[in-house]
Amino acid sequence: MTSTQYERNVILSNVDYDVVGTRPIRPDGVDKVRGRALYAADFDASGLLHGKVLRSPHAHARIKSIDVKKAEALPGVMSIVTGKDLPESEKDSDRYARENILAGEKVVYKGQAIAAVAASNPHVAEEAVSLIEVTYEVLPPIMTAPQGMEPNAAILHEGLTTEELGEKTDKVSNVANHFQHIKGDVETGFSEADCIVEREYNTVTVHQGYLEPHSATAFWNSDGRLHIWCSTQGAHPARDATAKILGLPVSQVRVTPMEIGGGFGGKIPIYLEPIAALLSKKSGHAVQISMSRADVFESTGPTSGSNMTIKIGAKSDGTITAMQARLAFEAGGFPGSPVNAAAICVFAAYDVENAQIDGYDVVVNKPKSAPYRAPGAPNAAFACEQAMDELSQQLGIDPIDLRLKNSAKEGTRRADGPTFPRIGAVEVLEAMKDHPHYSAPLGANEGRGVAIGYWFNIGFESSVSISVNADGTVSLVEGSTDVGGSRASIAMQAAEALGIPMEDVYPSVVDTDSVGFTAVTGGSRTTYATGWAAYEAAQDLNAQMIERAASIWDVDADGIECVSGVFQSKSDPELKMTFKELAAQLADTGGPLMGRAAMNAGGLGASGGSFAGNIVDVEIDPDTGKTTVKRFTVVQDAGKAIHPSYVEGQMQGGSVQGIGWALNEEYYMRDDGSMANTSLLDYRMPTSLDIPMIDTVIVEVASPSHPFGVRGVGEANIVPPTAAIANAIQGATGLRMNNLPMNPVAIMEAKWKQNG
């Protein structure tokens, strides 16, 4: 490995830039530390009404009747809507989307929206909601994937039939889809193995836990056009989804994305937007709806609980001969769990000849699952990376060496089909092995675990325009909502390409009327794809600036080049202008210039994806079973870290979400299908006191597809922690924790079971 240590925690990269790789202050920072940034619930409009939503108290029930008369009679109530106010949809998938906004004949999870009221203030709206009378026929709830797959299980959707290996069947079932990836032949592979590990693993439902509850304001104007101000990870996708639910052409909806208080995938789906729109249409007023924390837990998509079986076989020298997975994921009330993504990621770290993956998407009576940071991959890694750990112990091979021996690399074909371009799995594993943490001594009751995880990252659509100001600065307009500092990382790529300081780029995130289509801030795509679009827009602008310089100097444009923001003649050293000097002349030499780019940056895995690895030390209290994370190191391949501080921030944030998922977080479900812990006291996310500093190592194996080598870093970091912590707990106690969460109760029960 040729490693060039050019920054404390960045290894491998050997390309230096002027702006890329530095750590400037983010452009939106001052507003955010002064409380001036406007989030969705901060929006105000004249005559604003407040909406509240009536939600199902039952996890599974048929709606017999809805009576809104008493609510209508309450003074201050301005409008009421139910599912009947939404246009009918023909396709099943559209009907599911509609019923997740406002229920139809059935409710399939507790918290599903049934009706909504707009009133002069939120308290009146709340009172009115309590006056709506609904009668239900309560049905038995299905709470887990295995339960839903039982032959005589209660059926959530009478019209839902299983899609079996790509073919539609007429089998009515809670299994929406069963798919399979096969590479080689696992039977042959297992027959060649000297050692086989086969285990079953379970994970429970957990929530993204963004601190800002969902909020949306809608105003349906008299000209028929609907304007929405909301908290969303993607203004254009929110616009399109709202238009589809309401049966409108996309042009009739305009979405202004407000600042967004966290999302992690959970603010990709829409919930409140169509409801606020209908309440606005009926009342003639702008209507704002904000969720309570309990609404967020019970009515928005968490990520799936899952039931998984992993089987891995290897020769005594550590060569893996076969890997097999059976992944059954809870979709929630409507089809669509992240099991497909889990299947892509489960064995992605390994180059194995024989693999088989079976995936099952199963509807259950919980909120419809939504993306959560590398959706599905942490579940899969919890299973695969524990099985790998057991295998390393049985073979007597160091766990990192076992992974290195079988590591995926450029040219490896994954079980789900694609062949990897240049990736950084080996480099991440080597950086883990070289890290002083890996060989540091352990104390009493302590254990160390390692794991690696993969997320494929996506490309998709981004649009950017850059206008030149007379003072030599530029205004950059983009459509990617900024959840974690992406205004900075996008502005930096534009600045690098233009050869000007980052502080001379003023980025704005604008509404859907003001910029071309831009896909969600998600899939680790924003710095990758919108950053790339900013680079292309800068190139477009540079070409026009060269044309302008050519006309000013009356020379051929081909004879001019732009080097680090200086336009100069290739032949005459006297002809030279900085970006600022040329910008000042634009008005008098033909008018303003604007560069633009509207592009598709590729599909799934466009950048090759990112690998992340963990080294974790835990201490287990032998009397209480409480786990304390003593030391945590995360290594991740960023391709190229545009703003290393925000790359580290992603790595640290994802790691701590993983720690919470491993040790505490769960939807604690009662037998009737209701969630018992709907507050942030009882749904216990990590606090500052629960965790240590999170050490980061950024590996830079440039992505071959991106102008600066960016891979995208938002997600892979949440993939390995649950398994790394499970492996560390095993190291400390000898206990194999095959189910999440690994809380003190679970650890003590496992201990008592082990002791008989």
Residues near another protein (CB under 8 A): 23, 25-26, 28-30, 32-39, 41-42, 44, 123, 208-213, 259-264, 290, 292-293, 483-485, 643, 645-646, 648-649, 652-657, 679-681, 685-689, 691, 693-694
Cβ proximity to another protein: between 28 and 330 the closer is 28
749 Cβ neighbours under 8 A, 6+ residues apart: none
Do residues 602 and 461 make contact, with C-beta atoms less than 8 angstroms apart?
A: no
- Helix (H), strand (E), coil (C) string for 227-279: EEEECCCCHHHHHHHHHHHHCCCHHHEEEEECECCCCCCCCCCCCCHHHHHHH
Question: Is the CB of 121 or the CB of 445 nearer to another protein?
Answer: 121
Question: Min. distance of Cβ 700 from another protein in angstroms?
Answer: 19
Q: Whole-number minimum distance, CB 661 to another protein, in Å?
A: 12
In the complex, what is the shortest distance from the CB of residue 678 to another protein, in angstroms, rounded to a whole number? 10
Evaluate whether 377 touches 327 at the Cβ level (below 8 Å).
Answer: no
CB of 521 to another protein, least distance (A): 11
Cis peptide before 692 (omega within 30 of 0): no
Q: What stretches of 459-575 show up as alpha helix (H) in DSSP?
A: 486-498, 531-553
Residue 189 Cβ, how far from another protein at the closest point, in Å? 39
Nearer to another protein, 160 or 642 (CB): 642
Cα 723 to its chain centre, rounded Å, is: 19
CA distance 498 to 472: 11
336-347: burial string, b at 16+ Cβ within 10 Å, e else: bbbbbbbbbbbb
* Token reading at 489: 């990382």
CB of 13 to another protein, least distance (A): 20
Residue 480: Cβ within 10 Å count: 32
Retrieve residue 692's tokens: 């240590």
Residue closer to another protein by CB (options 489, 542) is: 489
> Closest CB to another protein among 127 and 163?
127
Buried b / exposed e over 238-277, threshold 16 CB at 10 Å, is bbbbbbbbbebeeebbbbbbbbbbbbbbbbbbbbbbbbbb
Nearest approach, Cβ of residue 295 and another protein (Å): 11
Q: Specify the DSSP class assigned to residue 42.
A: G
Q: Find the shortest distance in angstroms from Cβ 65 to another protein.
A: 30
CA 261 to chain centre: 14
Residue nearer to another protein on the CB measure, 26 or 311 = 26
Q: Which residue, 314 or 698, has its beta carbon nearer to another protein?
A: 698
State the minimum distance, in angstroms, from the CB of residue 200 to another protein. Answer: 30
Strand 694-699 and strand 627-637: pairing?
parallel
Q: Which long-range contacts (CB under 8 A, 24 or more apart) does 671-678 make?
A: 672/58, 672/59, 672/141, 673/58, 673/59, 673/60, 673/109, 673/110, 673/141, 673/143, 673/365, 673/366, 674/57, 674/59, 674/110, 675/110, 675/297, 675/298, 677/297, 678/293, 678/294, 678/297, 678/298
Distance CA 381, CA 426 (A): 17
Helix and strand counts by DSSP (H, E) for the chain: 20, 29
* Cα–Cα distance for residue pair 698/646, rounded to 1 Å: 11
145 vs 296, beta carbon nearer another protein: 296
Please, are residues 60 and 673 in contact by the beta-carbon 8 Å criterion? yes
Nearest approach, Cβ of residue 507 and another protein (Å): 15
> What's the min distance (Å) between Cβ of 389 and another protein?
24
Q: Based on CB atoms, which residue is closest to another protein, 153 or 691?
A: 691
What is the nearest approach in angstroms of another protein to the Cβ of residue 43? 9
Closer residue to another protein (CB): 215 or 512? 215
**Measured from the CB atom, is 40 or 339 closer to another protein?**
40
Among residues 26 and 254, whose Cβ is nearest to another protein? 26
